[in-house]
Amino acid sequence: MFERLDMPAVDEECALFPFSAKTKALDYAINMDHIQPEDFDFLEIVSPSFSIMFIDEGDDGGEISERLLTFRF
């Protein structure tokens, strides 16, 4: 098991893989276009502590906004 895993945003087909990583802490950036709310319905998140940076590039590809969520169990 890793102590900490820092992951940049990855391709859409791999977007949910970091959540299943065996690590004590996960810091992950994810593009909001790569996920849907229902993707989390059956997702097993292994890490007891994680931070997710949601990146939204907008419809026009202009301004980028970011939202950070942190969870600790």
pLDDT of residue 4: 95
Total domain count, the chain:
1
Query: Which residue spans within the chain are E strands per DSSP?
Result: 5-7, 25-31, 49-56, 65-72
**The domain containing residue 10 runs over which residues?**
5-72
pLDDT tens per residue across span 4-62: 999 998 999 999 999 999 999 999 999 988 999 899 898 888 899 999 998 887 766 66
Distance separating alpha carbons of residues 9 and 73, to the nearest angstrom: 23
Distance separating alpha carbons of residues 28 and 19, to the nearest angstrom: 9
pTM: 0.78
Distance separating alpha carbons of residues 48 and 23, to the nearest angstrom: 8
